[in-house]
Amino acid sequence: MDNNLLIAIFSIIPLIVGVHLWQKGISLIRNGIKAEGIVFKNNFKGSINNKTGLYFPVVRFLTEKQEWITKELDIGQYPALEEGKKLQLIYNQENPEEVEINSIFRLEILPRIFVAVGILMLILGLLGYLEIIELNFENT
């Protein structure tokens, strides 16, 4: 299969991730409840050889209804956050399991980066496939 077409097809992944994170971020910003939480632990998710990967923080916080929630966040990072570190969180009051660190980067900027990368990949892949531009994938 043409590499350009593969790029266009795989552009769907960052687009879907970006749109999902963007919608979640908008919803939390508009309707979310802010809470202070802590990093309870970090779950490492990596490659087969466990040499590369990301740490997904598990946070714990108390809701307005005085319920303790412990939840792994959807966005991983490297390096790991320090266990016991206090964080400002924002959660959906109707579903407190929907929680994220209350930061402009995580809620607004990162989703837009994913969408932009997906759109760029789609455009480049399609332009290459249609032979409007030439993308060179040969090993030198």
pLDDT of residue 14: 96
* Within-domain flag for 137: no
pLDDT of residue 39: 98
* Within-domain flag for 21: yes
> What is the distance between the alpha carbons of residues 98 and 131, in angstroms, rounded to a whole number?
44
> What is the distance between the alpha carbons of residues 70 and 93, in angstroms, rounded to a whole number?
15
pLDDT of residue 139: 57
* Within-domain flag for 139: no
Tokens of 94: 């109707």
Q: Mention every residue, 6+ apart, whose C-beta is less than 8 A from residue 135.
A: 3, 4, 7, 124, 128
Tokens of 97: 């399991």
* Within-domain flag for 10: yes
Domains held by the chain: number: 1
Instruction: Print pLDDT tens along the chain (140 aa).
Output: 688 889 999 999 999 999 999 999 999 999 999 999 999 999 999 876 767 899 999 999 999 999 999 999 999 999 999 999 999 999 999 999 999 999 999 999 999 999 999 999 999 999 988 888 887 766 54
pTM (2 d.p.) = 0.80
* Within-domain flag for 46: yes
Domain range for 109? 3-129
